[in-house]
Amino acid sequence: MEAISAANFPALYRAADHSATVGQRRFLIAIRVQLLSLLLAAVFGSFSLNAGRVDAAAICAAAALGTALVTEVFLLTVRPERHWYEARAAAESAKTLAWRYIVGGQPFDLPDQDDRGAERLLLRRFTGITSSLRDFAPVPVPGEDHQVTTAMREVRALSLEDRQRQYVVGRIHDQRVWYAERARRNERRSAQWSVGLAALETAGIIAAVLAAVRLINFDLPGIAGAVAAGGVAWLQTKQHQQLASAYSVAALELADVEERATWPRNETEWAHFVDEAEEAISREHTLWWASHT
């Protein structure tokens, strides 16, 4: 049997996951527009471009500042970052509950829970997630709209060995690979941005010297400073170095969890192991939520 896919997960997870993706995209686009607008304002403010009785460069600078202001109002009123953070937290909470149920982890232990009782408990936990939401409403996405899908029930009905394989491949290994890849990507981007900002600051120093000896007659140092400030602001938004460190720790911890996945020999040991594994995965999500709120 193939590993269970995201399309077969609860409707709450898929709705929250979609909302988190939309919220993140809107937030990052707004930040890009704001930073680019401020940069353009700095560029157009560094020179004059006479067009009859008006300064076209000044008009362009004012338009850029107006765009930055509108973007700031959008960020303060719509707050897409809150939408993103809360939706992601809800999605991950629903996902960990789903995996606990699917493979018979605590508190959905197969020895202690009949099918109806386990589903009732799962639905009650989902209700707890939705009732705590404040900044977004999980809009259902097309497809399977059940909270307990047929695929989830089918995997739960498998033998202990088959459920172990499903969990290792579909959850632990998949999550470990995701964290490891994201750690490498964020580390690489952090290094690239650091080198780029250092080069830009060097160019700014050179421009300032040239301006001091009057070899250039426009505000190139100011432009370089504005670009560098925008780069620093973008780095603070993306948090590449912090994410690289957190993801590296999570990947190493999950590698240890994956090594121990075959140790449990009965349902009780397995339910406890799943609980430990999901706690390890949830720790990173908790830290991420705390760092963003």
- What is the tens place of the pLDDT at every residue in 282-292? 887 777 666 66
- What is the tens place of the pLDDT at every residue in 124-169? 999 999 888 887 777 777 666 789 999 999 999 999 999 999 999 9
Instruction: Round to whole Å and give the CA distance between 282 and 274.
Output: 12
Token pair for 26: 């809107």
The mean per-residue pLDDT over the stretch 257-279 comes to 91
Neighbours of 128 (CB within 10 A): 11
Cα-based distances in Å from 118 to 114, 121, 159, 167: 6, 5, 17, 18
Q: What is the distance of C-alpha 34 from the center of its chain?
A: 20
* Most confident of the following: 100-109, 217-226, 238-247: 100-109
Bridge partners, residue 50, by sequence: 55
Which one is predicted more confidently, 54 or 26? 26
Mean pLDDT, rounded, of the chain: 87
Instruction: Round to whole Å and give the CA distance between 250 and 244.
Output: 10
- Does pLDDT of 246 surpass 60? yes
Q: What is the distance of C-alpha 55 from the center of its chain?
A: 43
